[in-house]
Chains A and B, each alone.
Chain A
Amino acid sequence: MRVAESMNLLITNGRLLDPSQRIDARLDLLIENGVITGTGKKLKSSAPVLDAGGLTVVPGLIDLHTHLREPGQEHKETIATGTRAAVAGGYTAVCAMANTMPPNDERAVTEMIIAESARNGVCRVYPIGAVSKGLKGEELAELAELRAAGCVAVSDDGMPVANAQLMRRALEYCSMLRIPVIAHEEDRNLREGGVMHEGYWSTVLGMSGIPAASEETLVARDVILAGMTGAHLHVAHLSTKGAVESVRAARRAGVHVTAEATPHHIALGDDALQSFATNLKMNPPLRPDAHRQAVIEGLADGTIDVIATDHAPHHFDEKNVEFDLAPFGVIGLETAFSVCHDRLVRRHIIDLSRLIELMSCAPARIFGLPGGTLRAGSPGDVTLIDPTVRFQVTNTFHSKASNSPFIGQTLQGRVVATVVGGAVRHDLRAPVPLPSPKPPRKRKR
């Protein structure tokens, strides 16, 4: 994250909602030198004032599952554009997945991501390292060195660890490093060329199916391995009933397992694929209602800790092909809050406080990241939201990509402004001129 402007800010006239302290009151919030120094009624300060104008002021959102694509696939997204998408969606920190090109399986790549984020990022970026060298699932990457370089977790996301012994060793090793192993749970043999959920709609549409069992068998395996090793397993993008049930049972048994779900698995079902729209293609795939409801129940009852986006940008050309040929993945940073607010809070399944817990407090807590709270001494990362406004999602994104399944939908609830380290990085009411990305540094000869 670039550090430059004034890092002092007084946010007035807002409804302060901080689930981490159980605060829900009309209070001002003061940030000094990028750090929250206090909350209170009618705070006095010489700091610049950001008038919240009655908006809800919450701890900055944190995404545990973002694909920034840099290095290597800058035609899809860069750290500069991905972090701009993040702040536009209310995120003040994102965790960057390891499947870049080259993958983040060694210290040099981690350092590059951190350096580029400092130069051109506009929110905090926490790299996630690879579990195995080259994401090949054969031998462990140098996990301690990745951790030392700044990785906050490890994952072979997109390339699930098929070898149970490797998974076991990764969990054991990471328990020493005190970082979670994030698992993309999928048995690739069971998927076998599948492009959507295997069920009624794959049968009707004649497309190869990905059975729920491909996710459920691996979740079952990995919670057993987590129990055996005592390590922290974080299950990425849960999408099936059986997977939710496995996680629930493991938690009851005291296994250190946490889990996330994505906005698209909450909001959309596989019946939408009748359109053959490639922006509905992702992995895990959209599932039928019974699975979708099980995920929502998991979010409501605490089985699932976190909502994460799995923001997966792809170039227009890559998605403008036959469904079978399109890559998996959809973008999500800029719509996540609105989608979840519309589907969960507006429909009274959870309250706004629980949603902020799922999108900010819990992500910080389970990965041990700064933020996720408005407590004094925490980073000055704050998001301002309007829970009442209704708007239509348009095909204009800060992300380089536009592969969103939500274009055209009318949603209630929107991020209005985002403050990172005391600096306003996004404000719908008065667009913030963000520094233009700097070109790569020239190497001295």
Chain B
Amino acid sequence: MRQTTSSLKSKDLLGIEPLTPEEITLILDTAEGFKEVSERPVKKVPALRGQLVINLFMEASTRTRVSFEIAEKRLSADTLNFAASGSSVEKGETLIDTAENLMAMHPDMIVIRHKHPGAPKMLADRLPASIINAGDGAHEHPTQALLDAFTIRERLGRLHGVNVSIVGDIAHSRVVRSNIHLLTRMKANVTVAGPPTLIPAEIERLGVRVAHSLDEAIDGADVIMMLRIQLERQGKLTFPSLREYYNTFGLTPARLRRAKEGILVMHPGPMNRGVEIASDVADGPWSVILDQVTNGVAVRMAVLYLLGGAHAE
């Protein structure tokens, strides 16, 4: 019998790693209910009325920041967006001082994006507010993995036994780590692929298969997830050129001819068209990239609700 749970253990969502399969299922099930809210003429429920959520984005972000803000507004929370540029961070204020000053104004939740791993945990250890990790360096990006899982489950009806290949800069990706934790916990089969220079040490110990060719990654995959290649890594000894990368690991319609019927192509964004993914693929029939974005709002509503709303009632 499947175990169920009705709440999350922690006050924070710092990563997927600490979550149980039951908690993951709870978030995904809750998100299903919230997805419908965004399709109504009046896209708002009162779940977080009177609660203050601060979006502390210390690193550039489009999708995640906007998605969180929309999710907060659809739950009727008061929201405040804080960006590093134009703030006292530029005057040298430390993260802890910034966070403690914000805390003095009694937010209920803080959503944080930061370039250094562990920054959300620093806040969670010190502040009474619920901390939601919106991406910390190459560590975790839990809501991204949740929206990816939601999208896979929505399309394929399950996570158990699904073959997911993740291709690209595995070493520097927080999306990969959160996805590996989530998918392996839900008994999906995960392959990571890329040049050895972009595969981090001992990643097999996380229960994934490592491939060094795109064809191998595509073979048998139900889902292929392409990761952004950070343009600035070119020439930094990780790969020789973007041209060579595209020819080796770029996902093109020709490559997809070998794929399983109905393969889903995903990308967490932002995409570099013509580097890791061809436009014909990104915009083609395989792509569920914009579904991911739509589902991101529902998943974030679920997380905010379970951490804030569910307790407040």
User: Within the assembled complex, what's the spacing in Å between the Cα atoms of A325 and B94?
Assistant: 11
Task: Mark contacts of B122-164 with chain A using CB atoms, 8 A cut-off: 1 yes-contact digit, 0 otherwise.
Answer: 1000000000000011111000000000000000000000000
A198 partner residues in chain B, CB cutoff 8 A: 201
| Cβ–Cβ < 8 Å partners of B200 in chain A | 202-203, 209
A205 — which chain B residues lie within 8 A by C-beta?
Answer: 117-118, 139
**Within 8 Å CB of B174, what residues of A?**
206
- Chain A residues near B267 (CB, 8 Å)? none
Tell me, rounded to whole Å, the shortest Cβ–Cβ distance linking A416 to chain B: 35
Complex interface: chain A residues within 8 A of B139 (CB): 205-207
Smallest Cβ-Cβ distance to B203: which chain A residue = A203
Asked if A321 is an interface residue, CB under 8 A from chain B, the answer is yes
**Residue ID in chain A nearest B172 by CB atoms:** A206
CB distance from B215 to the nearest CB of A (A): 25
Are B116 and A324 in contact (CB-based, < 8 A)?
Answer: yes
A392 contacts the other chain (Cβ, under 8 Å)? no
State whether B122 touches A204 (Cβ < 8 A): no
A contact residues around B138 at 8 Å (CB): 206-207
Q: Mark A164-204, 1 if CB is under 8 A from B, else 0.
A: 00000000000000000000000000000000001110111
> Using a CB-CB cutoff of 8 Å, which residues 169-189 of chain B contact chain A?
174, 177
The distance from the CB of A394 to the nearest CB of chain B, in whole angstroms, is: 20
Contact of B177 among A206, A276, A317 (CB under 8 A): A206
State the CA gap A409–B298 with chains docked (Å). 45
Whole-angstrom distance between the Cβ of A215 and the nearest chain B Cβ: 15
Closest to A321 in B: B94
* A323: interface (CB < 8 Å): yes
B98 to chain A, nearest CB (A): 12
CB of B66 closer than 8 Å to a CB of A: no
Q: Which residue of A lies closest to B95 (CB)?
A: A322
Give the residue name and chain of the B residue nearest to A211 (CB). B201
Q: What per-residue 1/0 map shows which CB atoms of A314-330 lie under 8 Å from chain B?
A: 00010011111100000
What is the chain A residue whose CB lies nearest that of B173? A206
**B196-230 interface (Cβ within 8 A of A):** 200-203, 205-206
Cβ of B96 under 8 Å from chain A = yes
Most interface-central of A205, A322, A324 (chain B CB within 10 A): A322
B121 and A276 contacting across the interface, CB-CB below 8 Å: yes
Write out the residue numbers on chain B whose beta carbons fall within 8 Å of the beta carbon of A320: 94, 96
Task: Give the distance in Å from the alpha carbon of A112 to the alpha carbon of B154 in the complex.
Answer: 72
CB of B303 closer than 8 Å to a CB of A: no
Please determine whether B114 and A322 come into contact, CB atoms closer than 8 angstroms: yes
Q: Does B32 touch A at the CB level, under 8 Å? A: no
Q: When the two chains form their complex, are residues B201 and A276 in contact, meaning their CB atoms are under 8 A apart?
A: no
What's the least CB distance linking A191 to chain B, in Å? Answer: 13
Closest A residue to B136 by CB, please name it: A206
A200 and B202 in contact (CB under 8 A), knowing A206-B136, A321-B95, A322-B122? yes
A246–B203 CA distance with the chains assembled, in angstroms: 28
Is B17 located at the chain interface by the 8 A CB criterion?
A: yes
Q: Which residues of B contact A203 (CB under 8 A)?
A: 177, 200-203, 206
B119 contacts A by Cβ under 8 Å: yes
CA of A363 to CA of B302 in the docked complex: distance in angstroms?
61
Binary interface profile of A, 206-228, with partner B (CB < 8 Å = 1, else 0)? 11010100000000000000000
Q: Mark B91-124, 1 if CB is under 8 A from A, else 0.
A: 0001110000000000000000010111101100
Residues of A within 8 A of B (CB-CB), count = 19
Cβ contacts under 8 Å, A211 to chain B:
201
Most chain A beta carbons < 10 A, residue from B17, B136, B137:
B137
Contact in complex: B140, A206 (CB < 8 Å): yes
The smallest beta-carbon distance between B258 and chain A, in angstroms, is 29
Check B94–A324 contact: CB distance below 8 A.
no
Cα distance, A325 to B116, chains bound together (Å): 8
Interface string of B46-65 (1 = CB under 8 A from A): 00000000000000000000
Q: List, in ascending order, chain B residues with CB within 8 A of A325's CB.
A: 116
Judge whether B96 and A206 touch: CB under 8 Å. no
Of A199, A200, A317, A323, which is within 8 A of B118 by CB? A323
Query: How far does the Cβ of B306 sit from chain A's closest Cβ, in whole Å?
Result: 24
| Bound form: Cα–Cα A207–B139 in Å | 7
Contact: B201 with A323, CB < 8 Å? no
A211 to B200, CA, bound (A): 11
B202 CB → nearest A CB, Å:
4
Asked whether B94 lies within 8 Å of A209 as measured between CB atoms, the reply is no
Within 8 A of B (CB), among A257-305: 276
Contacts of B121 in A (CB 8 A): 276
The answer to whether B122 and A276 touch across the interface, beta carbons within 8 angstroms, is yes
Nearest CB on A from B123, distance (A): 11
Complex contacts, A199 vs chain B, CB 8 Å: 201-202
Please give, as numbers and ranges, the residues of chain A lying within 8 Å of B122 by CB-CB distance: 276, 322
Contacts of B95 in A (CB 8 A): 321-322
Q: Which residue of A lies closest to B115 (CB)?
A: A324
In whole angstroms, how far apart are the Cα atoms of A362 and B139 in the complex?
Answer: 43
Contacts of B96 in A (CB 8 A): 320-321
A322 to B114, CA, bound (A): 10
B201 surroundings in chain A (CB, below 8 A): 198-200, 202-203, 209, 211
Known A-B contacts A276-B122, A321-B96; the reply to A204 vs B116 at CB < 8 A is no
Q: Known contacts being A205-B139, A207-B138, A320-B94, is A200 close to B205, with CB within 8 Å?
A: yes
Using CB atoms, name the residue of chain A closest to B117.
A206
Return B152 CB to nearest CB of chain A, in Å.
23
Q: Does B118 contact A322, Cβ atoms closer than 8 Å?
A: yes
Most-contacted residue by chain A among B95, B114, B174, B201 (CB, 10 A)? B201
Chain A residues whose C-beta falls within 8 Å of the C-beta of B205 in the assembled complex:
200
Task: Check if B117 sits within 8 Å of A207, measured CB to CB.
Answer: yes
Complex Cα gap A207–B121 (Å): 14
Q: Which residues of B contact A276 (CB under 8 A)?
A: 117-118, 121-122
A204 to B202, CA, bound (A): 9
Within 8 A of B (CB), among A124-170: none
A206 to B117, CA, bound (A): 6
Given A203-B206, A322-B95, 9 other A-B residues pairs in contact with their CB atoms under 8 A: A198-B201, A199-B201, A199-B202, A200-B201, A202-B201, A204-B177, A206-B137, A276-B121, A322-B122
Interface residues of A (CB under 8 A from B): 198-200, 202-207, 209, 211, 276, 317, 320-325
Chain B interface (Cβ < 8 Å from any Cβ of A):
17, 94-96, 114, 116-119, 121-122, 136-140, 174, 177, 200-203, 205-206
Ordered by A's residue number, 16 sampled pairs between the chains whose C-beta atoms are within 8 Å are A199-B202, A200-B205, A203-B201, A203-B206, A205-B118, A206-B117, A209-B200, A276-B117, A276-B122, A317-B94, A320-B94, A321-B96, A322-B95, A322-B116, A322-B122, A324-B117
The 3 nearest A-B residue pairs measured at CB: A206-B138, A276-B118, A206-B139
